[in-house]
Amino acid sequence: MIHPVRILALMALVFGLTSLLMLVIPPDGVRVGPVTVDFPTWERFLAEDTTTNGVSLEDLFAIYAQKEQDGARTVDSLEQERRFRLAMKHFQYPQRDSCTLDHFFSSLPSLSRKGRVRILHYGDSQIEGNRITAQLQSWFQAQYGGRGPGWIPVVEIIRTFAADQRQSDNWIRYTRYGGGPVSGHDRYGLLGAFSRFSPALPGQDSLLPPSTTDGPYSAWLEVAPRRGAIGRYDRLRLAWGDAADSVHYSVKAGEELIDEGIWPPGEGMHSQSWPLGSPPPALRMSFRSASSPNFYGMSLETDKGVFVDNIPLRGSSGTEFTRIQPGSITDQIGTDDVAMVIYQFGGNTLPNTTNQEQVDYYRRVVIAQLARIRRLFPEATLLVIGPSDMSVKDGDRLVTHPFLPAVRDAVKAAAFDQGAIFWDMYEAMGGRNSMVQWVDAEPALATTDYTHFTIEGCQVIADWLIEAFEEARTITQGPVQ
């Protein structure tokens, strides 16, 4: 029989040894070969837990859920509204000018009635798969017309809400951002990437005689609508360029031939569109040539309306705009109006940020990128979205990256320098150390890498952005009748 005194003595011994280790092991741990042995100190053990910067995640969602309810505005409801404003951090304006969006909302109705209007949503992997963008797309199209996801790459790298895509396995994707194959030129187009079904010669322009003597090459692409309003497009537009050889193409809907022909060789950007039925059919496009042109993307769209183009640049800090030939971007846009550019970056610079000098340098780089976007689309409104919270290990705790608030401030300063609107995603989430609560929420709103949102988390962020747009429209245009 185990005596209770012995159990208490064992517990006291374990507690004593643990306490001794907490006193002896330094805060940075003990290095044993390639491994660092870490142990919590008494200071960390007794430290006050600082979960977030103010409003808890539970309070934040309770406020969000109740903010639309009608009824008498009691003292409690006024306090909830005040806390909601503090928690959500709606759009922040340069020089506190809330009329910055007046031109944007004033022009959308007339522009969308006469043709296509584009909102370009650039971002890092947080928006991959049309996440966040898809809800913005649905909201804008419900308000101002249009159907379809807009521009998508010809080669799908991650399944999206935009369309179902398949392709032959000989496509090679070249990007201005991240790793992978590189080209010998800077004509990467609107999406910052292009694809080919024959290789380009490294270090040389693709407008050359066939890059190998193994041709001719052939390839195919398939695209089909996804269920929902976003899939009810009635036109497909394909952009390609710099064809060294003539290209034979065909477009089929099932066994029905819609179109076939030959594109002549030539330099520069070209596009061709095909009207489709409603609902649009699944399409198969086939190509054959001695060498591939550069395929810059395809747009699933209608003749009129608003299109929020999802343009994720995986691994990017948003520094590529000055390294893409401007003409390749504007040529792909063609005659469409660009009403807004959304710039959502900052998180990918954090892993390599260790001092304030690097933060200051990043601010100057972001200013240069926004200035380039301004020159590309002088009539467009700029919306800059700051980075989300990101957790890193601090001993046995997960805390906000130490330089995240500084990077957020740098991105905000760059936005205001260029007259852009700013939306503070970090503060909207709850501020310091809020990512842990998003991961622990039911259902989880962020993944266990403590960096990326889940689908549910993206829906929350998109809802809040839509709330910000609705509030801004009310300020500039008055309540919607």
Closest to 388 measured CA to CA, from 325, 464, 333: 464
Helices (H) and strands (E) in the chain, counts: 12, 20
The whole-angstrom separation of Cα 297 and Cα 240 is: 7
The whole-angstrom separation of Cα 44 and Cα 24 is: 14
What average pLDDT score do residues 241-250 get? 94
Res 50: pLDDT: 46
Res 214: pLDDT: 66
Higher-scoring residue by pLDDT: 15, 384: 384
* SS3 call for 174: strand
pLDDT-based confidence at residue 433 (cuts at 50, 70, 90): very high
What average pLDDT score do residues 421-426 get? 96
Q: Is the pLDDT of residue 301 over 50?
A: yes
The whole-angstrom separation of Cα 112 and Cα 150 is: 14
What residues contact residue 418 under an 8 Å CB cut-off, 6+ apart? 367, 370, 371, 374, 382
Q: Is the pLDDT of residue 212 over 90?
A: no
Which pair of structure tokens corresponds to residue 58?
A: 């539970």
Q: Is the pLDDT of residue 398 over 60?
A: yes
The whole-angstrom separation of Cα 120 and Cα 478 is: 25
pLDDT-based confidence at residue 277 (cuts at 50, 70, 90): confident
Res 68: pLDDT: 44
pLDDT-based confidence at residue 389 (cuts at 50, 70, 90): very high
Domains and CATH numbers, the chain: 89-146+304-481 (3.40.50.1110), 149-303 (2.60.120)
Contact 184, 145 (CB under 8 A): no
What confidence tens digit (pLDDT) does each residue in 310-351 have?
Answer: 999 999 999 999 999 999 999 999 999 999 999 999 999 999
Q: Is the pLDDT of residue 388 over 90?
A: yes
What confidence tens digit (pLDDT) does each residue in 26-59 have?
Answer: 655 656 555 555 656 655 555 444 444 444 555 5
Contact 350, 389 (CB under 8 A): no
What is the model's pTM? Answer: 0.84
- Expressed in angstroms, the distance from the first to the final Cα of the chain is 80
Contact 128, 312 (CB under 8 A): yes
Give 365's strand partners.
none
Q: Is the pLDDT of residue 380 over 50?
A: yes
Res 36: pLDDT: 55
pLDDT-based confidence at residue 162 (cuts at 50, 70, 90): confident
Res 144: pLDDT: 95
Closest to 210 measured CA to CA, from 218, 201, 219: 201
Contact 307, 334 (CB under 8 A): no
Closest to 318 measured CA to CA, from 281, 343, 298, 286: 343
Which pair of structure tokens corresponds to residue 277?
A: 């039925």
Region of residue 399 (phi > 0: left; psi between -120 and 50: alpha; otherwise: beta): beta
Q: Is the pLDDT of residue 140 over 90?
A: yes
Q: Is the pLDDT of residue 231 over 90?
A: no
Residue at token pair 């951002």: 177
